[in-house]
Structure 1
Amino acid sequence: MDQVKFLEYVYGGFPKLDRLTIINKRFTLSFLMFIGFTIMFSGIMLTHSNRCLRSSHGEVDDPFVHVSSFLIGYIIIQVPAAWISLKFSPLKWFGRSIFAHAILLFAVALTGNLGYGFLVVLKFFEGALAGIVFIVCHAAWKNWTPAAERSTLLTFALAGGYLGDLFGSSMSIFCSSLPFWMVVCCMVGSFGVIWWLVWERTVYETPNKHPTISDEELNRINPIIQEEIRPTEGVSCKQIILSTPFIVLVALNIVRSFNARSLGYRAEDMLIISFIRLTSFPLSGYLADVLVRKTSLTITNVRKLFVIGVTVLEAFYFFMLMNHIHFNKGRFLYLVSFLMHILYHVAYSAVSVNAVDIAPSHAGVTVAITNIISHIIFSLGFKVEIFLQQRDWTGVVDFISMVVHLIVGVLFGIYGTANPITVKG
C-alpha cells in the first residue's frame, strides 16, 4: 500500500520534492517565498545600481529614468494584480512571476546595453512583475495560516526582499566591468529558474490539496482557517474600502511612508541598516504571534500595542528634532536614528499584516490600495523634505508630524482592529 501511495506522487518519473520535507508545509511555503523574494530583489537592485551598464550607454540626461520606470510599472500593476489574486491561484502567479523575472534578467543582461530606452522598458516590466509578486504573496496566505500564526509566516516571507536588497546592492558595487555584471545577472536569473522548478514541485494551493501534509498539521490548521475565512468571502471590495478599519489603516500607511524621509543613513552604515531591516521586521512578526499564544492579549491588542507604541515614540522623536535641532548631526540623535529604524520596521510589520487581518479573502485589494498610496507618499516625501529645507521650515514640519502621529495613534487605538470585515460588519 505504501508503494502505491508513493507512485501516486510520482510525476514524470520523479517523486514530488515535498516528500523530502521534514518540517511543516506552511513554514516550507514561507521559506520558499523568502528565497523567491531574495532572488527577485537581488536582480532588481542589481539592475537598479548597474554603474557599468549605464556607462555603456554613455552620458544620459537622467541616469535614474530606469528606476522611475520600475516604480511606474510597480504602481500601475497593483490593481490588476489584486484582481488576479481574486480570480486565480495566488501561489501559481507568485511562482510564475518570479520565473518571468528570472527570464527578464537574462534579457537585461544580454540586450540591456543595446540602448538606454530599451533598458527603461525592461525595467518597467520588472516593476510590474515585482508588483504582482508582492500582492499575490499577501493573498496566498488566506488558505495556509490561521490568524494567530500569520505575522510569523508573512513577515518572514517578505523579509527576503530585504536580504535581496542587500545582496543586489553589494553585487552592484563590485561589478567593475560590463561582462562581469552580465555574468552575475545571468547567475541570479539561473537561481530564479531553479527556484521555480522547486516551487512547482513543492507548493499546493491549499492544505487539502497537499498530498504529503501530515494529518496532525492538516487537522490543526485547516478547521481554524476555514472558520476564519468563511464569513469574509461574501464581502464586497466596496464594503472593505469604505470600512472604518481600512480607512484608519490607509491613514496609518500615509504616516509610515512619510516617516521614511527621516530614516536617512550614511553610506558606510548600509550594512548595519540592512541587518536591522532583515532582523527587526520578521522578529517583530514572530514576537507578535508569541504574545498572542503566550499571553491573554488578542491579535487586535497586539497590533495596537505595536502600532500605537511605535507611533507615540516616533512623535516623541519629532519632538526632540523640533526642540533640539542643533543636535541633528550630533552623536545622540545619530544613535537614536538606529533605534528609529528598528521601531519603524516593528510598526511596518504590524501594519503589513493588519491589511491581511481585516480582509483575508481580499488581501490583494487592501494591500494594493495601501501600497499605491504608500509609494506615492514615499516618493513625494523626499521632494517635500528638500523643498522645506530650502525654506527652513523643517521645524514646522516636525511639529505637524508629531501632532499627526498622535492623532493617527489615537484613531488606530479606537478604530483599529485585527478582526476580519464581514458582511454584517
Structure 2
Amino acid sequence: MGFETTADKLERPNNFGARHWQAILLFVGMMINYFQRVDISAGIVPMTQSTAGAPFYKWELSQKSLILSSFFWGYVVAQVPAGLLAKRFGAKNVLCIGTAVGGIFCFFHPMAAAGGWIQLCVLRILTGLVQGTVYPCMHTLLSKWVPRTERGFLTTAVYSGAQFGTAVILISSGEIFESSMGWMGLFYISGGLGVAWAALFFWQGANEPAVSRCCSKLERDYIESLTGSNADSQSLAVPWSSIFKSAPFYGLLAAHCGFTWGFYTLLTELPSYMSSVLQLDVKSNALLSSLPYFAMGFLCFVVSPISDLLINRHVLSVTNARKLFNSIGLWVPMACLIGLGYMTADDKINAIVLLTLAVGINAACFCGYLVNHMDLSPNFAGPMMGVTNGLAGVTSIIAPLVVGAILSDEEDPNQWRVVFFITGGVYLLTNTLFVIFGKATVQPWNDAPSLSSTMTLRNHLETDSRTIVPTTDREKENRF
C-alpha cells in the first residue's frame, strides 16, 4: 500500500544534513514572515487606545476592519505571479527580496499610521503583495529539498513556523507595548528581523541541493532521487490546461479553501465570541490568546512523523494517509465548533479546551492537503500553491464578511451557533471533496516538455517544412 522504488533503497545520509539546515532556516523565515503578517492584529488595540508615551488614533470600527483586511487584498493578487517568479528566477531570490522588502515596510508603519488610516491601508496592501511570495516560494524550495520519505515531517515542521510566529507575537506583544518603544516597537522588531533573516538566507540558503555549498554528494543523490522534481524544472512550461482539468487538483483546492475559511474565522472572530458570550477578555491574557497556536505548532511535530511512519512502513498508501490526516484536521475541529456553539459564560474552561482543540488539531491538515501539491507535481508545486493559496485567500476575506452579516448582536449565543455551524459545514463539505477526488500520485502533466525542448521541436518542424520534397511537375522542373 505504500511506495517503494530502487531510489528508496539508497543509503540514507547522516541524521542531520543540509536538508535539515534548510528546513530550520525556512522555519525561522516562516516565523518572521508571520511576525510581519500578524503585527498589525496585535498592534491595532494599543494603536487606538490612549497610553503613556505612545501616539494613538481614534479610528472607527469600520476603519479598523479595513486596515486589518487590506493585507489580503495584496496577498491574494500576488499568489500566482509569485509562483511563476519563483520558478523563473529561483525561489531563494524571490523569498529573500519579499521578506526584506516586507521588513522595510514594517519600519514605515508608524509613519503611515500618523498620516491616516488610508495611508496605513495602502502600506498593508503593499505588505500583502510581498508576503504573497512566501507560500509559493516555500513550496518550490521544499519540492527540491525534501525527499518524499520525509515529506510529511520536514514540510510540516517548516510550516509550523506560522503557528509559532503567531503565538510568539501574541505572547510577547504585551512586553513590547510596555517598553519605551510602545506599540511602534512591534513593527521595528518585525522589520529588523525580516531584513536580518533575508540576509542570512541569501548567504546560507540554496534553490536546490545541486547548488548548495554544504550538501554532500551522498545526500544530494539521495534527495534528488526521491523528490520527483526534474533538474531543469525552471525551463518547464506550466501545463495550466492540464492542471485545471485535473480532478485531484480540485480536491486539493477544496481542502485548502476549507482549512483557510475555518482558520481565519477562528483567528479573527473568536476573541469577540470569548469576550461577548463567555464574558472573558481574551486580549487581556496574552498566554490564553496564544495557547491554541502553541498547541497547533506542537501537534505539527506529533502528527507528521506518524504520517511518514505509516507511509514508509507501508501501513497506508500515500493517498490514504493524506486523506486520513486531512480528515482528522478538519472533521475533529468541526465537532469542536459544534460543541463550542453551545457554550455559555458558565463553561469558560470547556470553551477554552474546545477552542484549543479546534485550532490545534488543524495541524493534521499539514500532512494532508498542504503537502499534496508536491505529491501531485513536484515540478509545479510552487505555481500550484500560488493558485490554491490565492483562491483560498479569498475565503479569508469572505469569511469575516459572512460572520458580520449573521451577527446583529454579538452577545447572542444563538447567532454565534449559526457561525460555528456554517464553519463546520464548510469543513465537512470541503474535506469530503478531498476524500472523493484527492490523490497523492505524481500526475502525468508533471513531466511537461520544457520551453527549450518545445522551441527546438518547433524550429525542427519549421525547418522540415521548408525542405519538403516538391511533388508537382513544375516544382520538379524548378528543382533541376
Q: TM-score range by the shorter chain?
A: 0.7 to 0.9
Once the two structures are superposed, residues 340-385 of structure 1 have per-residue CA deviations (whole angstroms, 9 ceiling, x without a partner) of 3222221254221113322222223322222233232233233324
> Which residues in structure 2 correspond to 1:155-170 (within 5 Å)?
155-170=156-171
1:376 partner amino acid: V
> 1:301 corresponds to which residue?
320
- The unaligned stretches of length 5 or more in structure 2 are 1-13, 50-54, 275-281, 448-480
Aligned residue runs from structure 1 range 324-363, under 5 A: 325=342, 330=347, 332=350, 335-363=353-381
CA distance in 2, matches of 1:397, 1:357: 34
SS at match of 1:165: helix
Seen in structure 2, the aligned counterparts of structure 1 residues 57 and 93 have a Cα distance that, compared at 3 Å, is same
Report SS of the residue matched to 1:49.
Answer: helix
Deviation at 1:244, TM superposition (A): 0.2
1:224 matches 2:204:
no
The answer to whether 1:31 aligns with 2:33 is: no
Native 8 Å contact 1:142 1:229 kept in 2: no
Instruction: Tell me what 1:108 maps to.
Output: 109
1:109/1:186 contact within 8 Å kept: no
Match of 2:40 in 1: 47
- Write the mapping of 1:223-302 to structure 2, written as runs, cut at 5 A: 223-226=225-228, 236-260=239-263, 261=265, 264=270, 266=274, 267=282, 268=285, 269-302=288-321
Residue matched to 2:8: none
Say if 1:234 and 1:329 are closer, same or farther in 2 by CA, change over 3 A: farther
Instruction: Compute the displacement of 1:192 (Å).
Output: 2.7
Give the Cα separation in 1 of the matches to 2:314 and 2:261.
33
Alignment of 1:14-413 (within 5 A): 23-50=16-43, 51-54=45-48, 56=55, 58-61=57-60, 62-109=63-110, 112-174=113-175, 175-176=177-178, 179-226=181-228, 236-260=239-263, 261=265, 264=270, 266=274, 267=282, 268=285, 269-314=288-333, 316-317=335-336, 325=342, 330=347, 332=350, 335-388=353-406, 390=408, 408-413=430-435
Which residue identity is paired with 2:378?
P
Normalised TM-score (structure 2): 0.73
Seen in structure 2, the aligned counterparts of structure 1 residues 85 and 394 have a Cα distance that, compared at 3 Å, is same
- Per-residue CA distance 1:73-93 (angstroms, 9 max, x = gap): 111211221221232201111
Given the two structures, how large is their TM-score scaled by the length of structure 1? 0.81
Alignment-mate amino acid for residue 242 of structure 1: K
Amino acid at match of 1:353: V
Shift of 1:276: 1.0
The one-letter amino acid paired with 1:208 is A
Q: Deviations over 1:223-262 (max 9, x none)?
A: 2235678899566022112210011122223332343446
Structure 1 unaligned residues grouped into runs of 5+: 1-20
Which deviates more from structure 2 when the two are superposed, residues 274-283 or residues 167-176?
Answer: 167-176
SS in 2 for 1:212: coil
Judge which range, 138-147 or 252-261, deviates more. Answer: 252-261
Which of 1 and 2 has greater Rg?
Answer: 2
Report Cα offsets for 1:82-136 as digits up to 9, x if no partner.
2212322011111121111222222335665344333222222111111112221
CA distance in 2, matches of 1:318, 1:181: 33
Letter in 2 for 1:375: G
- CA distance, structure 1, for counterparts of residue 71 and residue 193 of structure 2: 22
**Counterpart-to-counterpart distance in 2, 1:275 and 1:148:** 26
Count of residue pairs the alignment pairs up: 403
Contact 2:250 2:437 survives alignment (8 Å): no
The amino acid of 1:152's aligned partner reads: F
Structure 1 stretches (4+) deviating beyond 6 angstroms? 227-232, 326-329, 393-404
C-alpha distance after superposition, 1:24-55 (max 9, x if no partner): 11111111111122222223333343345456
Opposite residue 36 of structure 1, the aligned amino acid is G
Q: Distance in 2 between matches of 1:111 and 1:327?
A: 41
- Structure 2 distance, partners of 1:319, 1:22, is 43
Contact map agreement 1:74 1:130 (CA 8 A) in 2: yes
1:336, 1:22 → 2: CA distance?
Answer: 37
Q: Is the 8 A contact 1:256 1:348 kept in 2?
A: no
